[in-house]
Amino acid sequence: MKASSGILLLAFTAVASALENGLMRTPPMGWMAWERFRCNVDCENDPKNCISERLFMDMADRLAEDGWRELGYDHVMIDDCWTSMQRDKDGLLQPDPKRFPRGIAKLAQYVHERGLKLGIYADFGTHTCGGYPGTTFDKIETDAQTFADWKVDYLKFDGCYSSAEDQEKGYPLMSKALNATGRYIGYSCSWPAYQGGLPPNINYTLLGEICNLWRNYDDIEDSWTSVLSIVDWFFTNQDQLQPVAGPGHWNDPDMLIIGNFGLSPDQSRSQMALWAIMAAPLIMSNDLRTLTSDARNILQNKAIIAISQDPLGIQGRRLLQEKSRIEVYWRPLASSASALVFFSRRTDMPYRYHCSLDKLNYTAGLYEMYDVFTGEVLSLPSHTTPFTVSINPSGVVMWYIYPVARPTQTGEERKYPSVRRKLRVSTVRRGQRNGEHHLFL
């Protein structure tokens, strides 16, 4: 076989084996009810905070009117506890009539009219984790069709009350059923989280072929301890997890809890920075109606969002764990750029950490670094020049780094256009043109 047809065949196989919905080339973004609003169904006494169409309409309004949608936060996601306790007489899932009097199709329409997408929740098993009707084998196609008929755009498919053997069949079947509806429905699989999240129990090659994202690990809670346990697990297992993420198929370390009660401002910046390094979905679970401007500023940070949504879609890694309890994280980005996060696990005072780019495997060249939280630009004359960053306890310093000039193989210096001038202009535009760095154009 000639080389060219070999390449063609390879390309074809890759396309044919990937989930064929073409969705989520960058990690999904939006808002989800669970962590903040749980299974609060008491609409009589707590009408503003119960799981009801009002809550999702409120959040859709906020996403559309407060600048979130333009930044990419375009999904509104229903989680557990939205259905009646019984399916209807035809065996279909039905929303609780008191809490969703207008039905899900109307809610989808409301969301779509605001330029947003609607996510919904189901569970492969006899019941959802909250005890509502589950999706057993005989209901997979029916439920997929119901969601498509309602014009739902995303399904979180949980895994309470099913066995490992059944999940192995059920998750691929739901993927097929969603595809068969002909509607583009993003597919989030909780399967790995129920089976330890690691190979050999989990076949991530298969997951990448049938799901757009997957929950690998425990549920996030509103605390720093919970965020840390998730960060620890994902980076301890980075050799297995990092290579399996990419455009259309992502690891999901669970929701952003920034804006709730458990994180300090520094810890909030840390969650945002580390989720961007992980190429994680940016799915907030907070109350967008009462968010403080501190929380909003972190969640709406354009530079971090651009890093999270980098078109290469390569998940980052932890590079260093120092004895000083400082850690360094890195993610390669398009146009020879990259992101670095310096993270402190210390509990005493801001720590002055000394480092240089060559220690972090950067090759010879001139670099500029943009501090995504302060907006400062730093130039280093060489990749061996020492620098110092001051990192707050449980906080981060995060840099977007781009080469200004770098020696080429032929010896001459290739000049990269400096972005310093452009940094002042504020609207984000993702991607790149003409090889320039347009992160902040």
Q: Is 287 a catalytic residue?
A: no
Burial of 5 (0-12, 13-18, 19+ CB in 10 A): exposed
Stretch binding ligand GLA (CB under 6 A), from 123-131, 177-185, 311-319, 423-431:
123-131
Active-site residue identified among 158, 252, 254, 287 = 158
Q: Which is nearer to ligand GLA, 160 or 228 (CB)?
A: 160
Structure-token pair, residue 186 = 């993003």
190 part of the interface to ligand GLA, by CB under 6 A: yes
The b-or-e profile of 285-307 (16+ CB within 10 A means b, else e) is bbbbeebeeebbebbbbbbbbbb
The answer to whether the beta carbons of residues 212 and 247 sit under 8 Å apart is: no
Q: Is 158 a catalytic residue?
A: yes
Q: Which is nearer to ligand GLA, 158 or 287 (CB)?
A: 158
Q: How far is the CB of 188 from ligand GLA (least distance, A)?
A: 10
Q: How far is the CB of 280 from ligand GLA (least distance, A)?
A: 14
214 part of the interface to ligand GLA, by CB under 6 A: no
Q: Which is nearer to ligand GLA, 80 or 96 (CB)?
A: 80
Q: Which is nearer to ligand GLA, 118 or 314 (CB)?
A: 118
Order the strands of the 29-32 sheet from edge to edge.
Answer: 250-252, 213-215, 186-189, 154-158, 117-123, 75-77, 29-32, 282-284
| Measured distance between the N- and C-terminal CA atoms of the chain, rounded to whole angstroms | 47
Q: Which is nearer to ligand GLA, 17 or 163 (CB)?
A: 163
The maximal CA–CA distance of the chain, rounded, in angstroms, is: 75
- Per 3-state DSSP, the chain is made up of helix, strand and coil in percentages (nearest 5) of 30, 20, 45
96 part of the interface to ligand GLA, by CB under 6 A: no
189 part of the interface to ligand GLA, by CB under 6 A: no
Cβ neighbors of 160 (< 8 A, separation 6 or more) are 123, 125, 127, 128, 129, 134, 194
State whether the Cα torsion 404-407-410-413 is positive or negative: positive
Q: Which is nearer to ligand GLA, 30 or 365 (CB)?
A: 30
Span 267-306, contacts to ligand GLA by CB under 6 A:
none
Contacting ligand GLA (CB under 6 A), which of 79, 96, 252, 327? 79
Q: How far is the CB of 306 from ligand GLA (least distance, A)?
A: 27
Q: How many positions of this chain bind ligand GLA (CB under 6 A)?
A: 9
129 part of the interface to ligand GLA, by CB under 6 A: yes
Q: How far is the CB of 287 from ligand GLA (least distance, A)?
A: 17
Structure-token pair, residue 42 = 């008491």
Q: Which of 190, 204, 201, 77 is nearest to 135 (CA)?
A: 190
Span 306-335, contacts to ligand GLA by CB under 6 A:
none
What is the Cα–Cα distance from 398 to 172, expressed in whole angstroms?
A: 38
Active-site residue identified among 219, 266, 294, 371 = 219
Contacting ligand GLA (CB under 6 A), which of 80, 96, 252, 287? 80
Which residues are identified as catalytic? 158, 219
Interface positions with ligand GLA (CB under 6 A): 34, 79-80, 128-130, 158, 190, 219
